Amino acid sequence: MNEIYPVKPLLEALDGKTQSVPPVWLMRQAGRYLPEYRALRRRAGDFLELCFKPKLAAEATLQPVRRFGFDAAILFSDILVIPHALGQRVAFEEGEGPRLDPAGDSAAIARLYAAVDHSALDPVYEAIHLVKSALPETLGLIGFCGAPWTVATYMVAGRGTEGGVPARRLALEDPIAFGELIDRLVAASIEYLVRQFQAGVDAVQIFDSWAGVLGPRELERWCIAPVRKICEKVRAQWPKARIIGFPRGVGTALSRYVEQVPIHAVSLDWTIDRSFARDQVPRNVAIQGNLDPVTLLVGGSALDREVEDILQSFVDRPFIFNLGHGILPETPVEHVERMLRRIRGADRK
């Protein structure tokens, strides 16, 4: 007796199926480029408040899906909810980005909670429930967390950095303390992702936005090994877990990443050569990406050409269309619509 489940194109890709029209979603698809998001944001006040009010977070998650008909919704949240749930003070200042009480030495790291305070994260799981109940059955719901290395760059510096120098410095000066921080983030991420699956997400993405600033040995130790451990443990606890890795700027280490980290898909940034990626990523790992957000911002024939090139490069294998990094706030919504028409064939020659 086979039950018939509605097909979710996102999950088909993650399970290794080649599709003539690939599923598509965009990183940061809920955001300031949408008028309805800006209105929601004005109601919520602080950015973290928006993340921690389940109804508002669910609404932000659903807005872009409703407007554009993407194949997946990604939970509206932030990678810094984990430092918050580990007891670090996190605030978002308007136009300034995140500010944290820096965890820059062993004493500050030791003061973090030993385990995640899930009560702080309950609103996230509640938002997942709300989205799940409202989402059409053919759409995937994606949860996420930051990779330990990337989250650590914010925790150590107390803010966003260009190049993660404070974290790179601590990792060299006191690898025991820094390793302790990474271990806590690994443990927290495992629990957090499993709870997201329990709450109803179909897949998760692990964002390693700052992987590209590490040398090869540091990449192995602080990026690849911790993310591998997260994937192994999450999959052991939740066998249906599908995981997308996004090691931005991984460059020549792409093959090492996909060999060592048991992921279902790898998300590529826009700088990577597509034929290189085809060669390096085995067919049992789906590719996701990799439109330059600036190309989407500019639109027009440059956008058409690039969408076509991406499709030509990847549509004969398991593939998810996405950006190579987060959507830029000034992006016109018409360009997103144009991109979708082209991917879905109405505009294709």
Which residue, 208 or 292, has its beta carbon nearer to a copy of itself? 292
| 156 contributes a contact to a copy of itself by CB under 8 A | no
Name residues contacting a copy of itself, limited to 319-348 (CB under 8 A): 328
Sheet holding 319-323, edge to edge: 72-74, 140-146, 203-208, 243-247, 265-267, 286-291, 319-323
Closest CB 19 distance from a copy of itself, rounded Å: 25
**Active-site residue, selected from the candidate residues 71, 78, 208, 269:** 78
Instruction: Look up 43 and say whether it is catalytic.
Output: no
Q: Token pair for residue 311?
A: 């499709």
41 is catalytic: yes
Decide if residue 213 touches a copy of itself (CB under 8 A): yes
- Give CA separation, 337 vs 25, 123, 303, 341, in Å: 12, 32, 11, 6
Q: How far is the CB of 195 from a copy of itself (least distance, A)?
A: 33
When binding is defined by CB under 8 A, the residue of 302, 308, 315, 326 that contacts a copy of itself is 302
Tokens 């919520």 label which residue?
Answer: 44
User: Contact with a copy of itself (CB under 8 A): which of 61, 288, 295, 313?
Assistant: 295
Q: Of the residues 28, 235, 242, 338, which is catalytic?
A: 28
Contact call for residues 95 and 60 (beta carbons, < 8 A)? no
173 scored as a contact of a copy of itself (CB under 8 A): yes
First to last CA, the chain: 42
Is 37 assigned a catalytic role?
no
Catalytic residue among 33, 37, 125, 154: 154
- Rounded CA-CA distance 187/169 in Å is 23
- Residue 249: CA count within 13 A, CB half-sphere: 14
Name which of residues 221 to 280 contact a copy of itself (CB under 8 A): 249, 251-253, 270-274, 276
- Residue 263 C-beta: closest distance to a copy of itself, Å: 20
Q: Is 235 a catalytic residue?
A: no
Binding-site size, a copy of itself (CB under 8 A): 28
Q: Return the active site residues.
A: 28, 32, 41, 78, 154
Which residues contact a copy of itself by CB under 8 A?
162, 165, 168-169, 172-173, 212-216, 249, 251-253, 270-274, 276, 292, 294-295, 297-298, 302, 328
